[in-house]
Amino acid sequence: MSYSSRTNHDIDYKIVGEQMQYVEIELDPSETAIAESGSFMMMDDGIQMQTIFGDGSRQQDSGILGKLFSAGKRILTGESLFMTAFTNVGYGKKRVSFASPYPGKIIPMDLLELDGMLICQKDAFLCAAKGVSVGISFQRRLGTGLFGGEGFIMQKLEGDGMAFVHAGGHVFEKQLMPGETLRIDTGCLVAYTRQINFDVQFVGGIRNTIFGGEGLFFATLTGPGKVWIQTLPISRLAGRILAYGTYNRKEEGSLLGGLGNLLDGDGR
């Protein structure tokens, strides 16, 4: 498929920053970008912002029931019924920017190059060109759904336009060859292409199960296809922050802890 055969809006973009990134999308007259509520950062004069029901893709052209079904599926992924469309109604090129909600990376995904579909974590989608469908993907295996760690439901992005997902920490892409298998922590999985076979595997071993501290299950991905992996899942970051804010550190409030801080050069 050539780039000239896109049916979704063809947008240009620039990703700015290192750890707290934002994506700047350049819109020609009448071009539109869609985004999750709360991701908007800034825009040029001449861009019209409109709240829409669902994602505004062609898959919603089946009448009110189709729109209700498409938008309702978004509730299952923890998202709002509504999205925001940003359309260039002026003359010349205009820019609109969307920011990542936590430290990490924004990953540009050209669905035209990814066989028209991407499966990603249910909170990973940030924004896209109008025409990209944002739906859900049910994990077909019972074990995957019950023990996957990140839930039975994931987001499914379909179309031939640009979509942008965000993830925590450093993000890298891995190409799996046919039959090649990769086992990762379920929370570290960001996205994968449609050819990937995704399953969950029990860690095994009594000591691993009781004392391992890494959970009972691995996400098992088998190629061919591409996989995107993050080093810092937001759930892991939130858990550490919660633990730090809820409980006193062992060295705090104790004579030995104060001495340790003094030796570390942290005494005041």
Which domains does the chain show, CATH number per domain? 9-245 (3.60.160.10)
Lowest mean pLDDT among 36-45, 95-104, 119-128, 135-144: 135-144
pLDDT score, position 79: 57
Of the spans 1-5, 137-141, 207-211, 230-234, which averages the highest pLDDT?
230-234
Query: Among residues of the chain, what percentage have pLDDT more than 90?
Result: 38
Distance CA 135, CA 247 (A): 39
* Listed residue (93, 135, 82, 90) closest to 111, CA to CA: 135
Lowest mean pLDDT among 41-50, 204-213, 217-226: 204-213
Residue 213 pLDDT > 60, yes or no?
no
Residue 98 pLDDT > 90, yes or no?
yes
Q: Mean pLDDT in the chain?
A: 77
Query: Among residues of the chain, what percentage have pLDDT more than 70?
Result: 64
Lowest mean pLDDT among 66-75, 79-88, 180-189: 66-75
Q: At 169, is the pLDDT very low, low, confident or very high (cuts 50, 70, 90)?
A: confident
Which has more confidence, 201 or 147? 201
Tokens of 101: 């909600």
Residue 197 pLDDT > 80, yes or no?
yes
Residue 185 pLDDT > 60, yes or no?
yes
Which has more confidence, 199 or 259? 199
Q: If you average pLDDT over residues 111-140, what whole number do you get? A: 86
